[in-house]
Amino acid sequence: MKKFYLSTALPYVNESPHAGFALEIIQADVMARYHRLLGEDVFFLTGTDENSLKNVQAARKEGIPVKKLVDRNAKKFYELKKALNLSFDDFIRTTEKRHIKGAQKLWLACKKDIFKKKYKGLYCVGCEEFYKESELVNGLCPEHKTRPDLVEEENYFFKLSKYQNQLKKIIEKDEIKIIPQSRKNEVLSFINSGLEDICISRSAERGRGWGIPVPEDPSQILWTWYDALSNYINAVGYSDNPKQFKKWWPAYLHIIGKGILRFHAVYWPAILLSAELSLPKTIFVHGYLTSAGQKMSKSLGNIIDPFELVKKYGTEPVRYFLLREIPPTEDGDFTYEKFEQRYNADLASGLGNLVARVIAMAEKLKAQNAKRKTTTQNLKFKKEIDKTWEEYKKALEEFKFNEALGSIWKLISFCDCYIDKERPWELKNQESRIKNQEVIYNLLFVLTNIAEMLKPFLPETAGRILRQTRTTINKPLFPRLK
């Protein structure tokens, strides 16, 4: 059986989840469900990054122990599984023993490329990264728009520069395929600008004792990113289960946001090369979810809470909006107005209306036996369905979630036009009844295809459609919002 191992990035737990991470994990869930439908053996990983300075600072601000903060917020991220109907197979926390053991093992595996020196630099706690002066924008971190801290101490460094030429060839030849092309170009530009050795530890004092101790030197703790990136191998047995590790590694797919591309496409492969481990196959990079045109930020008060969104509209509409409205590789904007427009137009008046019309007519014409039909004799219908499947699969292979859904909605429009043309509710005589039954059979057949296509995107809705085609009991899928 073909194996498919995919992961999300690990979000920081200094605060509760917001809809930006919901976008990423729903995209990952679609890919996991799609590959399961293809009959593949899938392992879908997510989790939480709990060893950052952000968490230490957030706990101090609340006046609570760091462990209490990370336990509370990690639980909220895990609860997205139910709220968003996610199908992940494992949830790794970077405070777990299996992760700590694996991160320290990876450090020792890279020991030949690690050295200690005194260093002075500008450090952004938000990014958990040192920046050069030239990388700042008006003296501020380009990502968080905050002024970095000036840090001076003795730390461990990793010989990233040693792998510059090797990394360049790997990215150029798509040994690690980066999607979209613009992000691949961004990585190559960064490599070509000249790679410098990177700091991979901080003093235990600066980290306030929180984090994973450096092997053989407890005065230092692992840099958050060195520790966090190792989760991808630790979850599949790197430290203690060689058989499981051999089965699953390398990962086929990392799904990440654009702000952490450098860590995944440059630092992570270099560390793996140093440790003589296989490289991941693909990195898919999505944009940011903005709120009314601005990046979501706690300080701006424009965070969209996915739990509140689900409570108000339901899980499936939230999944649909994020997958259909937001361009997969670009920034996309969320407003409640856009959400409700998309809900009413596509879910209530589009899919929901089609299913309601077809099931009502099937019940009226007593067409329950249509469930036994596994094909259609209508060549135009068959051609349209085959074309939709082709477009749908191509879009998903390219991570174009919005286009895959768009192809399904074109099929929905085709069905609406077919109904309006054939007018199967008109019963003039026995001949028209037989003809109308055939029309309904065709429509029920296409609804089963639509449901199959929706399984990775809207699994609950897909199940409800299939049940209604079998029973012809009509229950509204998406009541219109007032």
Q: Which residue intervals of 8-115 are DSSP H helices?
A: 19-37, 53-62, 66-78, 80-83, 97-109
Q: Are 421 and 437 in contact (CB under 8 A)?
A: no
Q: Are 315 and 83 in contact (CB under 8 A)?
A: yes
On the 0-12 / 13-18 / 19+ scale of CB atoms within 10 A, 234 is buried
Superfamily in which the 336-471 domain is placed by CATH: Isoleucyl-tRNA Synthetase; Domain 1 (1.10.730.10)
- The Cα 176–Cα 280 span in angstroms is 6
DSSP state of 160: G
Put residue 277 in one of left, alpha, beta given phi > 0 → left and psi -120 to 50 → alpha.
beta
Query: What pLDDT does 97 receive?
Result: 97
> Which of 38, 68, 42 has the alpha carbon at shortest distance from 55?
68
Place of tokens 């760091």: 66
Q: Are 258 and 287 in contact (CB under 8 A)?
A: yes
Amino acid at 455: K
CA angle 322, 2, 243 (to 5 degrees): 105
Higher pLDDT, 150 or 166: 166
CA angle 242, 244, 246 (to 5 degrees): 65
Q: Are 401 and 328 in contact (CB under 8 A)?
A: yes
Q: What integer is the mean pLDDT of 42-50?
A: 97
Predicted confidence (pLDDT) at residue 14 exceeds the cutoff of 80:
yes
Over residues 380-432, the pLDDT tens digits come to 889 999 999 999 999 999 999 999 999 999 999 999 999 999 888 776 666 66
Q: Report domain extents, the chain.
A: 336-471
Across the chain, mean pLDDT equals 91
Predicted confidence (pLDDT) at residue 480 exceeds the cutoff of 60:
yes
- The Cα 164–Cα 162 span in angstroms is 6
Q: What integer is the mean pLDDT of 428-446?
A: 80
Give the end-to-end CA distance of the chain in Å, rounded to a whole number: 48
- The Cα 21–Cα 286 span in angstroms is 11
| pTM score over 0.95 | no
Over residues 163-213, the pLDDT tens digits come to 999 999 999 999 999 999 999 999 999 999 999 999 999 888 887 889 999
